[in-house]
Structure 1
């Protein structure tokens, strides 16, 4: 059985949980607090970040984008029309561009700040960076999310899904990051109806159920977090 080292509010981990479930992969989930920098975990992924997938044969696959590509290469062809990567090379470029956008740019400007400041630092020791949140970082992320929300709204208004005619890993990457921000109540959904409708479509998929059931001790999600008709 495959094992996925993850954190419930790590957006990159959530991305792989969505991809895996859409592909029929149900790994054993092992929560990893990456800031603890456990030696055994660092041996699996010297970068010290989640997620890390361990296949049943012991193969180690570290990093969200690498895992998503690996899962497509090893399991994608069997999915037929449900494959999360297009067959056309130029269409794959657009999917990869958007996956990189959300796993990179969105994380660096929005979800990484919010999850670190509002979640991780509550559990980190002081010598590892724990303590009160940096409100300047939170305010910057709240400003940045508005620009990204407009971009999602633009894409979803001009295409059936973010990268084209059908759902791909680009939608799952975007939804994974947005779900973390939504848990924290920092998505201004009233500012873009198209983005909200797109998220509702992804959020309603069976693969999303486990994410909507996640809870962080001592921090309840926003009131509408698990509401499919929000």
Structure 2
């Protein structure tokens, strides 16, 4: 029997985008429900008490499984759809993938998204006023530091975790892509990162992200341009 899947997500949420990229790369069919998570819709909070996206709902016959939050969903997908394998083929690759997932889920989210995306996106969605210039400067400085680290990794490796595309690449691309939506990624200063992002951006799994739009939040002109 075919498993029916529904992903509850916010299109400009980096965590949701990680899951969408993994589902697309694994060619897993799913339905989408776009959520305004800040409105705390009762149906969403019944699925995930935190009220946050993403949430994956799987229905198989009369059984329903609800998997909440990006890391849990990504590991679940690796178990139920092992090919293509996206965690890593050996212990070292898997350990590095997990480290980088944590890097973007915690460090990058706190140092970059917590400033740039809060000021440029969340404040507008929540009606909290104009962006704070000091926070914007701090977020952009942190972004450059993270891009420098990614640049260093990519001058030594084919992909972020080593020789093969992995969930680490999708975690990084998901985060960078939302910031790129608003035009804040200085790609020209980081050529290895730019080349890597172009490869990710050109994959079929990335195409739905390039069509994302949210009312009142228009992307920069180059956002859906595969050649920047």
Give your verdict on TM over 0.5. yes
**More deviation in 38-47 or 154-163?**
38-47
Which structure 2 residues correspond to residues 69-88 of structure 1 after superposition, within 5 A?
A: 69-76=75-82, 79=83, 82-88=84-90
| Deviation (angstroms), 1:140 | 1.4
| TM-score after normalising by structure 1 | 0.92
Separation (CA, whole Å) in 2 of partners of 1:112 and 1:206 = 29
Equivalent residue number for residue 60 of structure 1? 66
User: How has the CA–CA distance of structure 1 residues 26 and 138 changed in structure 2, closer, same or farther, with 3 Å as cutoff?
Assistant: farther
Picking from 117, 138, 147, the partner of 2:145 is 147
Equivalent residue number for residue 23 of structure 2? 20
Task: Kindly report the root-mean-square deviation, in angstroms, between the aligned alpha carbons of the 2 structures.
Answer: 1.4
Separation (CA, whole Å) in 2 of partners of 1:120 and 1:27 = 27
In terms of fraction of residues, the more helix-rich structure is: 1
Separation (CA, whole Å) in 1 of partners of 2:31 and 2:145 = 36
Check the 8 A contact 1:11/1:111 in 2, yes or no.
Answer: no
Residues 1:40 and 2:46 aligned together: no
Equivalent residue number for residue 214 of structure 2? 216
Picking from 175, 178, 184, the partner of 1:177 is 175
Check the 8 A contact 1:9/1:115 in 2, yes or no.
Answer: no
User: How has the CA–CA distance of structure 1 residues 12 and 112 changed in structure 2, closer, same or farther, with 3 Å as cutoff?
Assistant: farther
Picking from 180, 184, 187, the partner of 1:186 is 184
User: How has the CA–CA distance of structure 1 residues 198 and 179 changed in structure 2, closer, same or farther, with 3 Å as cutoff?
Assistant: same
Picking from 201, 208, 211, the partner of 1:203 is 201
| Unmatched 5+ stretches in structure 2 | none
Equivalent pairs, count: 222
C-alpha distance after superposition, 1:158-194 (max 9, x if no partner): 0010001010000000000000010011101121111
**More deviation in 82-91 or 210-219?**
82-91
Check the 8 A contact 1:142/1:186 in 2, yes or no.
Answer: yes
Separation (CA, whole Å) in 1 of partners of 2:68 and 2:193 = 30
| TM-score after normalising by structure 2 | 0.93
| Unmatched 5+ stretches in structure 1 | none
C-alpha distance after superposition, 1:25-75 (max 9, x if no partner): 132111111111222211211122111111123211000111101100111
Which structure 2 residues correspond to residues 80-159 of structure 1 after superposition, within 5 A?
A: 82-124=84-126, 130-159=128-157
Separation (CA, whole Å) in 1 of partners of 2:182 and 2:122 = 13
Check the 8 A contact 1:95/1:168 in 2, yes or no.
Answer: yes
